A and B are shown apart, each in its own frame.
Chain A
């Protein structure tokens, strides 16, 4: 379904509500959010726990459907699709990056990255799977680690595998849910560096975070509270990952002068 509007809007939420019913209680997690995200944006979605940002993230990721309102992804309405149709949308148009990586254990980086291809429309040969996975792994700096299992990789490397997995089907949107929540600050900056690099290449990124210094790597900052968008503005003092890692390195040098 093609809807007229801004051609560049890759995500368009129109008065989206989400209500959960737990027994007698009705929980209004999202109470009417309208949001437009354009191709090539890097949005940080912020808010305290209970603000509705996770619910909104689930809707944006097509893991959940809004109770009312419309969600246009890449100009087609996905608010009323069934379970299987949503799964196909997630497969082709959305890449997920999670806080706890969610990599398959005892499975090589390459096979983890191949996973979305196995659920895709086209059946690929082992050779094709391997080539595509290795290419994406190389693009996130993991050349030579294709056969490593997650337990043999550092947290930052595991998150890179997850990013590679999210990118393998060339998604419209990369959705990251607290991508640095389990990482130390140096590795967090490293991951933000990858996000900024991908964003430079034109990939649209939506990132949920509650850390202001992580949100500062984005271009646009959307803050939610009580199920509504409270503020939506461009990041004024944007951090650039390559500069920040330089600063962290010099702090390390001060702490360990013998290096």
Chain B
């Protein structure tokens, strides 16, 4: 009914104590600012990890060869050489929903061209690999299934390798010597940046896996098989199918362990993002504490204010203020302080996270929802911590309040 007047009264009271109002709001400004900045940096880190996981490709299942133990020394995944080319072909042929398969044969070798040489990673893959990784070429053309069948001496190189070996020259059509075998460069990949593990994904030479087996790595086994399914819903069934297919092909009796490992991309993503989620939660919680401290600051100041303004409250009651008017006035004062503090805190938080991400090169991601939530929380802090002092004020007896010294 008299909200308009009460608003006027509350704002006049705040204006009368500008410095105190500003200092009280400062607690909330810092609290909300900290929450916004911390959560922004946390979700930025999470988004970055997610992007790196997504760069593995969509709906990907990774099948790793098992480990082996020789004289007590275990080799780690891929060391046992249990995956054969035929296994990959069986997956391609028999597992429903599979849209692409790439046999992977990695090795690390010295490569050379002209008078330049460079130690890099060689990946033997099938022609599907570029689709699976969603990794288009910047120039030239990829190798073809025909190249894979014939184990042709062709390769596609990453941005880093290209600049280290060929400098500013166009690498396409040039010859790259790998273990003294000349390979023709047919294409250069678009840059992909660092992997989730911090490896430079562009420091790579990709060639048909048949060529890698025959001329670079030697051997006849695959370290792993990259499988892509068409739909996310096929991921789980395809994974089960692959496990049973490979157990059958490897003659593993029930009850015995697999000699291979199957991981899907969601599992990898969950493991990687779990860490950043914990970090975001921790940062947010610490910042939340400062928001609560800001709220207690508001309560403190409002309680002091009620005591200090007892005579004023008595005067207001004497000239006709209801208890409810006093309650609303003090609540509006508290909520205005916290809401204004919240708004300024949002600005501060956004600015702080931008500055931090520019200075430290940390990614930050500020979602509109976190801004809305921060504002509502700060207003709620005002109501929560303002209510007790406001109620105390509204219950004063006008006679006592007028006499208060």
Chain A: residues with CB nearer than 8 A to chain B? 58, 61, 63-64, 83-84, 87-88, 90-92, 96, 98, 102-107, 111, 115-116, 118-120, 123, 165
Contact = CB atoms under 8 A, between A and B. Distances in A.
Contact of B399 (A58, A102, A104, A115): A58
A249 B321 CA distance: 42
Interface residues of B, number: 26
Interface stretch (B46-54, B59-67, B228-236, B312-320): B312-320
A207 B178 CA distance: 111
A219 B261 CA distance: 108
B320 A104 contact: no
A119 B318 CA distance: 11
CB-based closest 7 A-B pairs: A91-B320, A119-B320, A116-B319, A118-B5, A102-B315, A106-B16, A84-B322
Interface string B322-344: 11110000000000000000000
A170 to B, nearest CB: 13
Contacts of A92: 320
A90 B319 contact: yes
A119 B16 contact: no
B5 A83 contact: no
Contacts of B322: 83-84, 87-88, 119
B124 interface: no
Interface in B365-379: none
B9 A102 contact: no
A84 B16 contact: no
A101 to B, nearest CB: 9
A58 B402 CA distance: 11
Given A102-B402, A111-B12, A116 B320 contact: yes
A119 B316 contact: yes
A87 B320 contact: yes
Given A63-B398, A98-B402, A102-B402, A120 B314 contact: no
Nearest to B12: A111
Nearest to B320: A91
Contacts of A87: 317, 320-322
A104 B319 contact: no
Given A58-B399, A102-B315, A115-B316, A123 B2 contact: yes
Contacts of B215: none
Nearest to B17: A106
Contact of B311 (A88, A91, A102, A123): A102
A106 B311 CA distance: 14
Contacts of A123: 2, 4-5
Contact of B312 (A64, A90, A104, A165): A104
Contact of A119 (B5, B311, B398): B5
A19 B4 CA distance: 40
A92 B319 CA distance: 9
Nearest to A168: B319
Contacts of A116: 319-320
26 contacts: A58-B399, A63-B318, A63-B398, A84-B324, A87-B317, A88-B322, A90-B317, A91-B320, A96-B319, A98-B315, A102-B311, A102-B312, A102-B402, A104-B16, A104-B312, A104-B315, A107-B12, A111-B12, A115-B319, A118-B8, A119-B2, A119-B5, A119-B316, A119-B321, A120-B320, A123-B2
B309 to A, nearest CB: 9
A228 B319 CA distance: 28
A105 B320 CA distance: 19
Nearest to B8: A118
Given A102-B311, A119-B2, A61 B318 contact: yes
Given A98-B402, A102-B314, A119-B2, A90 B16 contact: no
Nearest to A102: B315
A120 B321 CA distance: 9
A119 B325 contact: yes
